[in-house]
Structure 1
Amino acid sequence: MELRHLISFLAIADELHFGRAAASLHLAQPSLSQHLRRLERSVGVELVARNSHEVRLTPAGEAFLGLARDIVAKVDQAGAAARAAAAGKVGTLRIGYNFPAGQRILPGVLTTLDSRHPAIDVEMFELRTGPQLAALAEGKLDVAMVYGKPSSTSLRSRHLLRVPLVAIVGEKHRWAGRRRVPFGELAAESCVLFNRAQSAAMYDTILSAAQSSGIRLTIAEEVDDPGATAILAAIKPVVGFASAARGVFGGTPGSPRTTSVALYDPVPILDLYVAWSDARNPLVEAFLGCLPATLT
């Protein structure tokens, strides 16, 4: 099985037209057809069915497609890593992060990275932990800054910070103006939560605090976007949850305001980690080298 044959198959799968696929690869159509035949002989099954009216993937071709994309992507990543190493760390580093990381860690780290490695470009994506880890596993991110130590054996991680959670309420909520409340008082409140897959560590920390307080939370709304959580808390008599870093912002300009209230007995606390693939990547190594030894 040759890489060029996989690339030809992917072009056919994308275009579902041999002429356009050949043109996209700057190949003659007979050469493209030959690549496909050789790939199918190597795999042992028909991957593409065609007649005078249409070109389509067979069920075997559909099953083969995703893994073929992964193989070609991994080869591209390997080439990029090799070129970056040869050129002294040149390339684009894709960083996932959450709000506390964006506020407390990235500004300083990126300043240091730019001064030490000015040829490294950075792309940043603010996401919850679940989507970050999925993107890291799929090779769409190089670094993730997430809640909770990742359990995957294919990932490495380093602890960065401990992040307290706070309650978020609207300015007319009966808690507004209070500096802090015991967690157990949430028994009398309706709460806004999110799907656990979005951030398992945060979800479990909140429910663990409720269990420690001997209460059961009433979940009135389930919203995955933190901004939408703040809007709901601002306009409804509900309580949302956020990191203390996000809580101090009190909503976006022009929208209904929220206020944060510290929680205690217990204080729900999250551990923030930086995570990356265990495959060597010089760009990731450069980023990690710019992280301070200790963070407070």
Structure 2
Amino acid sequence: MAPSSDIGPGIELRHLISFLAIAEELHFGRAAARLHLAQPSLSQHLQRLERSVGVELVARNSHEVRLTPAGEAFRERAQDIVARVRRAAQAARAAAAGRAGTVRVGYNFPAGQRVLPAALATLNARHPEIDLEMSEMRTGPQLAALGEGRLDVAMVYGRPLAADLRSRHLLRVPLVAVVGLRHPWAARERVPFVELAGESCILFNRAQSSAMYDAIFSAAQTSGIRLTVAEEVDDPHATAIIAAIKPVVGFASALRGRMADGATGGPRTKTVRLYDPVPILDLYAVWRAQPGPLVEAFLSCLPASSEVTI
């Protein structure tokens, strides 16, 4: 049995749609053609609606068609009702197609700055029924959460090689050095990587971000130097605090470094470009094989691959 189209005592959705067409066209012939109805049927819809409401909504004579004051007042409410019904139908179709629900997304700082804003805007425009649950984490914790089913998509440094994971390149990001304002490098715009041979460095446990860790040590190997690791700190903000007060060198993505340089009220640091070589990180979206329609919808909204310049 088909569901009733009644939306109130004696009021049917099709009667509201017919009334709104008349209200917009102010011409019965054009309104009927727009709705692919015979003109007598359109007139009948209006008559039934007016009987249900109990007042005249449209006045017409041989010269004009116009809304009565009651019709003007009714029009806005009718538009809202029809729009709500249409949105409800869209939500139902989205749910039936697996396009309504929540996608759990992990991300790091560069993804939050360069990828997620555009992806969210596109997702909201294309799939307003899909919500995102977002968590900022480093690469290691993200991949662990993805493997345990606590995340649907991870935005991480490095491309995982696991057979049950899929990935897509999003962003190429240079690494920079982070030093306090009293450090000798603070007066310099860029420094060759080889000069790190004479510096004490702050690093982090490799499990936190293996791609970033390896990029730093690969650049050291290319430069023919050994890094001196004075401290190991897993929190990027804590790294900046230590660099601000001690004569050590930390590392950050160019995007995080720029943000720290412009910040007020936090640790006072300066970012310095590294070169010869420039340590580079590649950011990927990573998800499990056979992701399902919700994740596929989110992935389709990710922006094209890009590169951060320094």
CA RMSD of aligned residues (A): 1.5
SS in 1 for 2:184: coil
1:227 aligns with 2:233: no
Structure-2 residue corresponding to 1:213? 223
Deviations 1:132-162 (A, max 9, x none): 0000000000100000001111110011111
Question: 2-side partners of 1:84 and 1:234: how far apart?
Answer: 51
AA of the residue aligned to 1:287: F
Structure 1 residue 139 and structure 2 residue 149: aligned? yes
Tell me the amino acid that sits aligned with residue 270 of structure 1: L
* Equivalent residues of 1:159, 1:274 under 8 A apart: yes
Give the whole-Å Cα distance in 1 for the aligned partners of 2:246 and 2:203. Answer: 14
Instruction: Indicate the SS of the match to 2:265.
Output: coil
* Alignment-derived partner of residue 196 in structure 1: 206
What residue is the counterpart of 2:100 in the other structure?
90
The alignment partner of 1:151 has SS state of coil
User: How many residue pairs align between the two structures?
Assistant: 214
**What is the CA deviation profile of residues 239-260 of structure 1, one whole-angstrom value per residue up to 9, with x for unaligned ones?**
0000000001226532221110
Equivalent pair of 2:153/2:286 in contact (CA under 8 Å): yes
TM-score by length of 2: 0.67
TM-score normalized with structure 1 length: 0.70
Structure 1 letter corresponding to 2:267: P
1:268 and 2:279 aligned = yes
Shift, 1:280, TM fit: 2.8
**Percent of aligned pairs sharing the same letter:** 72
Equivalent of residue 243 in structure 1, options 253, 266, 285: 253
Partner in structure 2 of residue 187 of structure 1: 197
- Distance (Å, rounded) in 1 between the aligned partners of 2:232 and 2:143: 21
The structure 2 residue matched to 1:282, chosen from 267, 277, 293, is: 293
**Does the CA contact (< 8 Å) of 2:103 and 2:294 recur in 1?**
yes
| Match in the other structure for 2:118 | 108
In 2: Cα distance, 1:124 partner to 1:253 partner: 26
Question: For the residues of structure 2 that align with 1:205 and 1:185, how far apart are their CA atoms?
Answer: 16
Q: Which runs of 5+ in 1 are unaligned?
A: 1-82
Instruction: Map 1:20-169; keep pairs closer than 5 Å.
Output: 86-169=96-179
> Could you tell me which of 289, 302, 307 is aligned with 1:291?
302
